[in-house]
């Protein structure tokens, strides 16, 4: 249900935006061109339930990801971002802070732009009770950039991350958020 709401929200914003900026995108936009800077951010929401110690547990995690990037060559973007989050429930109580490095390929797709790439990062988790712990994360991402005008785009995508904790290296987790939505500006 939440996946459908995210898609409907994105389409509700994207369709009018596409009609508005047709013709502005081709030559006036810095997306995908060497030397263009990017600043933006996104939000991801994770909901998880699991069997823990013979019972069930669940929780949610909201991650905000402000980032800065630069196109080093045409279509190759290198981004550096912070990860700030808070969670609740049985599985995610407390706060998160970390950073990520994201190499991305960005290419045109009609009036839209698509992106695909990787990510690597480090995150410290500070639960409400107990000791802090950290994770090393690796992953892949992809999505669409929907131009809202010549220099701003809506980011609709997905991250898939593989996390390894420092307290127990045998504890590994595959993280698949419900989705990602954000805004990026180019200058």
pLDDT per residue of the chain (187 residues) written in tens, 0 to 9? 455 544 445 545 544 444 444 444 444 458 889 999 999 999 988 887 777 677 787 888 898 999 999 999 999 999 999 999 998 887 777 888 999 999 999 999 999 999 999 999 998 888 777 778 888 999 999 999 999 988 999 999 998 888 888 876 677 778 777 788 999 999 9
* Predicted TM-score (pTM) above 0.85: no
HSE of 7, CA atoms in CB hemisphere, 13 A: 4
Number of domains present in the structure of the chain: 1
How far is the C-alpha of 90 from the C-alpha of 124, rounded, in Å?
18
> What CATH number does residue 53 fall under?
2.40.160.20
What range defines the domain where residue 25 resides? 2-186
Output phi, psi for 2, to 5 deg: -65, -35
CB 114 within 8 A of CB 145: yes
DSSP-assigned letters across all residues of 153-168: EEEEEEEEEEEEESS-
Which DSSP state fits 29? -
Count Cα neighbours of 57 within 13 Å in the Cβ-side half-sphere: 11
Q: Using an 8 Å Cβ cutoff, are 59 and 96 in contact?
A: no
Pairwise CA distance, residues 79 & 155, whole Å: 14
């Amino acid at each position: 249900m939440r996946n459908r709401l995210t898609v409907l929200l994105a389409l509700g914003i994207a369709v009018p935006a596409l009609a508005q900026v047709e013709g502005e995108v081709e030559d006036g936009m810095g997306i995908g061109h060497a030397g263009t800077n990017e600043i933006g951010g996104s939000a991801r929401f994770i909901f998880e339930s699991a069997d823990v110690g013979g019972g069930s547990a669940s929780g949610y995690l909201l991650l905000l990801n402000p980032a800065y990037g630069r196109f080093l060559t045409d279509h190759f973007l290198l981004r550096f971002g912070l990860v700030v989050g808070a969670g609740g429930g049985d599985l995610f109580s407390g706060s998160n802070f970390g950073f990520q490095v994201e190499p991305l390929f960005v290419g045109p797709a009609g009036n839209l732009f698509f992106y695909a790439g990787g990510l690597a990062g480090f995150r410290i988790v500070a639960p409400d009770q107990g000791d802090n712990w950290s994770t090393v994360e690796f992953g892949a991402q992809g999505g669409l950039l929907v131009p809202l005008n010549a220099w701003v785009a809506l980011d609709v995508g997905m991250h898939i991350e593989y996390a390894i904790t420092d307290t127990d290296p045998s504890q590994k987790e595959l993280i698949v958020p419900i989705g990602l939505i954000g805004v990026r500006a180019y200058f």
